[in-house]
Amino acid sequence: MSLQLRQTPNLFVWKIHQFWFNFAGSALGWLALYALKQNLASCLPGNCLSQLTFLDVVIFVIAFVGITGHLPFTTVSLLKYLMDLLTTAAKKAMGS
């Protein structure tokens, strides 16, 4: 069952929502990049590649997606995928 809104959104409210949504995503991206820079700054004179972890890669992806303005869309898409996956698993577990 999916919920679909049928009414036309108020243009002003939609623009405020989009501005806030994208601003928050971009701010999170810049914050993630700053955290990654702080984490890797200590190894700059040496070999940073040996100190990279999986978490650093995840933070870099969040930073890239956030700074480029795609974090809100990516988050919503991942949540929808997770919900569909859990719905499918629940249906299989119930024998439907």
DSSP states of 14-32: HHHHHHHHHHHHHHHHHHH
Torsion angle of C-alpha atoms 19, 20, 26, 30, degrees rounded to 10: 140
pLDDT (average), residues 9-13: 82
Instruction: For residue 34, give both structure tokens.
Output: 């700053």
DSSP states of 46-66: S-SGGG--HHHHHHHHHHHHH
Instruction: Report the pLDDT value the prediction gives residue 1, as an integer from 0 to 100.
Output: 47
Q: Find out whether 26 and 73 touch, Cβ atoms under 8 Å.
A: no
Is the pLDDT confidence value at 5 over 70? Answer: no
77-95 per-position pLDDT tens digit: 999 999 999 999 999 988 8
Is the pLDDT confidence value at 67 over 70? Answer: yes
